[in-house]
Structure 1
Amino acid sequence: MPTVTIGDRTITVEPGTRLVLAIEQAGIAIGHRCGGYARCTTCRVAFAAGEPDEMTAAEYAKLSERGLLGQYRLSCQIVCDRDMVIAEVPMTLASQGWTDTGPAPEPTVTPDPATHPRATLAQG
């Protein structure tokens, strides 16, 4: 079973758990203002280790649009299929002063869970 580590917190999750939900399970109120549909980037994270090589087309498009590609990943578009160490969760309930983190993400990646190598996505 994969482990997810954020700071001094490490949790074990079921394989296939969305990373955004795993971070919440670890007790961190990560943002997901769009409900986990790769539209807002509030669930972005920086990896220290275990970053997947592939990404969804929706994640690639949103990170490219916002100038964040190569710096962050969208936790709503990643499933836990390996051990992961998160270096940064920049947008949380406390850090942003929100009254809530956003609509609850569904258990599976949406809109399209298919992942692709970044080079393929860059070719359009």
Structure 2
Amino acid sequence: MPLIQVEGKQPIEVEEGKKLVLALEDEGVDVLHRCGGNARCTTCAVEVLTGDLGVIGEAEATVRQNKGIEDPSIRLSCQVRVHEDVSIRLIKTVGSTGLDAGPRPQE
């Protein structure tokens, strides 16, 4: 099973193919996801420090373009599935923004 290393936290073992945002939320990581995993708001964006979260899909590419996100290391955690070990840095959290997390993203 792949490991997710969130900067400053203990590694999280996750079932292969699970959405990154759900893996984080299920382990109590303070991750923001205001649109419920629909690739609209980019609040669930993370910076990939090491590892590969796969090809950027159409929905993620569209919202990244619309929001001006050009850095390939910035990925939407609601749009990627974990297939290998990855190390990430959270960009926005519930705690740092004071916003509600948003509805739980779909599997």
Provide, for residues 62-87 of structure 1, a one-character-per-residue CA deviation record: whole Å limited to 9, x for no partner. Answer: 1111111225110000001111100x
After superposition, the CA RMSD in angstroms is 1.2
Q: Extract structure 1 runs of 4+ deviating beyond 6 A.
A: none
Counterpart of 1:62, as a letter, is V
Unpaired stretches in structure 2, ≥5 consecutive residues: none
Partner of 2:67: 66
Unpaired stretches in structure 1, ≥5 consecutive residues: 108-124
TM-score w.r.t. the length of structure 1 is 0.79
SS of 1:76 mapped into structure 2: coil
Number of aligned residues: 105
Q: Distance in 1 between matches of 2:12 and 2:28?
A: 10
Partner of 1:83: 85
With CA pairs under 8 Å and 6+ residues apart, which has the higher RCO, 1 or 2? Answer: 2
SS of 2:83 mapped into structure 1: coil
SS of 1:47 mapped into structure 2: strand
Counterpart of 2:94, as a letter, is L
SS of 1:78 mapped into structure 2: coil
Larger of the two Rg values belongs to structure: 1
Counterpart of 1:106, as a letter, is Q
SS of 1:94 mapped into structure 2: helix
Partner of 2:58: 57
Q: CA deviation at 1:53?
A: 4.0
TM-score w.r.t. the length of structure 2 is 0.91
Q: CA deviation at 1:26?
A: 3.3
Partner of 1:97: 98
